[in-house]
Amino acid sequence: MTELLNATAITKRYGGITALSRADFSARAGEVHALLGENGAGKSTFIQILAGAVRPDGGTVTLAGSPYRPRNPQEAQQSGISPVFQELSLVPDLTVEENIWFRREPLSAIRTVRARAMREATLELFARHKFPPIRPDQELRRLTLAERQVIEIAKALSRDPQVLILDEATSALGPQETEWLLGLAKGLAEAGRLVIYISHRLGEVRQIADRITVFRNGATVAAYDTHAVDDETIITDMLGRRMDRLYPERKSTASQTVALGLRGFGVDHRLADIDLDLREGEVLGVAGMQGHGQRELFQALFGIGGSRGTVEVWGKPKTIRGPRQALTGRDGLALVPEDRRNHGLLLSKSVRENLTLSVIQRFTRFGITDPKRESALVDEMIATLKIKTGTPEQLAGTLSGGNQQKVIFGKMLLTEARILLLYDPTRGIDVGTKGEIFQLMRDLAAKGYAILFYSSDLAELVHVADRVAVLRNGRLAAILEGEDNSERQILRAALIETRAA
């Protein structure tokens, strides 16, 4: 078979940092080709070169045999390469269809937008690729993160690309949309297109990728047919060292003390009748399809939006009116939020300022902050969580996703709160950091923390949580433990109406 896309010895340097050093990549039409690597391995830079957003310092790329050197994203798209990035590029104030056809709207003779033509094109696009139901005239700001990601994909597909690049596209999606996207990728490949697929989820890669290329430290370390390689080999190649295990040993450390007790807990019509006990030393998983109440549960427990029912924290009733109150004191609850960039971190501020934002009182004496005490707290957290940052003064926005997440963890761990609410804490994070975060969760549980843990990746719940509470339509569908805590049982409970919960 002939190669459609061929990149040889691609090199890119940013100042002193080498992002890519003689990386090779080749893929043929009609395949799903996975590109794997830890954060910082150079995947993003490589994709940006293909997308025309970044120009390489060295190396050559050929597309269908001829040299490919896009000077900007427009040229890349004209050559038939469409990327779907993790960082969403949509305009919140425009509607779904306006976003999809942004600056390519069908125009009339007097250069007004032909609304009907645009609607038809949108519906046709949705139908052709069996998109999940989303109204074309909805304003984008009203959509969930998952739906926005779907629209991002629609926008890329609307150009009918020869090469579709999906960069962590499933990290924001629920299980159903993920299934759809995986099917879509396979379908496109069967239709003779090339799909370059970047994901930190090996299961998905295994499901759809024909071939896999692994980057490490800016260079290509391996390329193989998916069916000819096992997970261990892939992970070893990604890490460059043998990863003992992704999931830590799960030893139950739950005591009989109830840390967080919910009775009849609910949030308007989206969440109702939740009775749940989270025990000291326990990691309690929460599962559910996108939009079945898990977000409401986590936000309401953190005091965002109203709620009804009773909440008991360490045996005492507690009304949580806002994050500040939730975080305060030894009976506090800390949240690692879903949206790292908009809810979790001050991207333009330093790692230090982010880490200590919630606990300034801890190093304030007589109203004046003490830089030495602050440094001590910051250094300790950076060391404990192995946050990879040049200095504590490095801007949080310049860290890799995994390290940003560690900073948010650190910020929450500096508070006295011993109940942790973790909302999809490993979303879009590399395998190495994922493993570290799971280990951290088990360690914290062993120290007496109580952890409520939602993940969109069911495997994580199965392997890390002691029990898993499954939500369906805003209600508690089942609590699974032991043998029953399996991906199959979780999906069953999340999808199918059952009598015996």
Partner 1 sequence: MNIRRHRAILLAYLGMIVLLLLTSVVAPGFLSATHLRSTVVLAAFIGIVALGQTFVIIGGGIDLSVPWVLNSAAVLMTLLAGSQDAPLLWIVPVLLAAGALVGMVNGFGVAIFGVPPIIMTLAVNVILQGGILVYTGGAPTSTAPKAIQFLAVGRIAGFPVVLILWIALAAIATILLSKTAFGRHLYAVGTSATVAEFSGVPTLRTTVLAYTLSGFTAALAGMLLTGYTAQAYLGMGDPYLFTSIAAVAIGGASILGGSGHYIGTIAGALVLTILTGLLPALNLSSGALLIVYGVVILVTVSLASEALSGLSAFLPRFGRSRGPSA
Q: Give the binding site for partner 1 (CB under 8 A).
A: 14-15, 17, 19, 37-44, 48, 53-54, 87, 302, 322-324, 326-328, 335, 337, 342-350, 353, 356-358, 360-361, 364, 367-369, 393, 395, 397-401, 411, 415, 430
- Of 350 and 485, the one with the shorter C-beta distance to partner 1 is 350
Element (H, E) at 316: strand 316-317
Q: Are 161 and 76 in contact (CB under 8 A)?
A: no
Q: At what angle do helices 431-446 and 231-239 cross, to 10 degrees?
A: 100
Q: Degrees (nearest 5) of the Cα angle 6, 7, 13?
A: 170
- Of 253 and 415, the one with the shorter C-beta distance to partner 1 is 415
Distance between CA 178 and CA 187 in Å, rounded?
A: 14
Shortest approach of partner 1 to residue 58 CB, angstroms? 16
Tokens 């050093």: give the residue: 21
Distance between CA 226 and CA 199 in Å, rounded?
A: 14
Sign of CA dihedral 372, 410, 434, 33: negative
- Of 89 and 176, the one with the shorter C-beta distance to partner 1 is 89
- Of 54 and 260, the one with the shorter C-beta distance to partner 1 is 54
Shortest approach of partner 1 to residue 86 CB, angstroms? 10
Distance between CA 241 and CA 428 in Å, rounded?
A: 21
Shortest approach of partner 1 to residue 177 CB, angstroms? 23
Shortest approach of partner 1 to residue 169 CB, angstroms? 14
Sign of CA dihedral 145, 147, 153, 155: negative
Q: Which residues contact 421 (CB under 8 A, 6 or more apart)?
A: 298, 301, 302, 333, 334, 335, 336, 452
Tokens 């991002």: give the residue: 152
Nearest Cα to Cα of residue 478 among 292, 210, 246, 306: 292
- Of 312 and 353, the one with the shorter C-beta distance to partner 1 is 353
Q: Which residues contact 44 (CB under 8 A, 6 or more apart)?
A: 167
Shortest approach of partner 1 to residue 90 CB, angstroms? 15
Shortest approach of partner 1 to residue 357 CB, angstroms? 5
- Of 429 and 445, the one with the shorter C-beta distance to partner 1 is 429
- Of 320 and 464, the one with the shorter C-beta distance to partner 1 is 320
Shortest approach of partner 1 to residue 370 CB, angstroms? 9
- Of 226 and 358, the one with the shorter C-beta distance to partner 1 is 358
Neighbours of 217 (CB within 10 A): 16
- Of 128 and 324, the one with the shorter C-beta distance to partner 1 is 324
Helices (H), 101-250: 115-128, 145-157, 175-190, 202-208, 231-239
For residue 180, how far is the Cα from the chain centroid?
A: 17
Shortest approach of partner 1 to residue 45 CB, angstroms? 8
- Of 166 and 184, the one with the shorter C-beta distance to partner 1 is 166
Shortest approach of partner 1 to residue 257 CB, angstroms? 25
Tokens standing for 369? Answer: 């902050």
- Of 41 and 440, the one with the shorter C-beta distance to partner 1 is 41
Shortest approach of partner 1 to residue 192 CB, angstroms? 28
State in Å, rounded, how far the first CA of the chain is from the last one: 52
CA atoms within 13 A of residue 25's CA, in its CB half-sphere = 30
- Of 41 and 81, the one with the shorter C-beta distance to partner 1 is 41
CA atoms within 13 A of residue 494's CA, in its CB half-sphere = 24
CA atoms within 13 A of residue 339's CA, in its CB half-sphere = 11
3-class secondary-structure state, position 291: coil
Sign of CA dihedral 393, 398, 404, 408: positive
**What is the torsion angle, in degrees rounded to the nearest 10, for the CA atoms of residue 198, residue 74, residue 187 and residue 66?**
-90
Shortest approach of partner 1 to residue 433 CB, angstroms? 11
Shortest approach of partner 1 to residue 14 CB, angstroms? 4
- Of 176 and 369, the one with the shorter C-beta distance to partner 1 is 369
Shortest approach of partner 1 to residue 428 CB, angstroms? 10
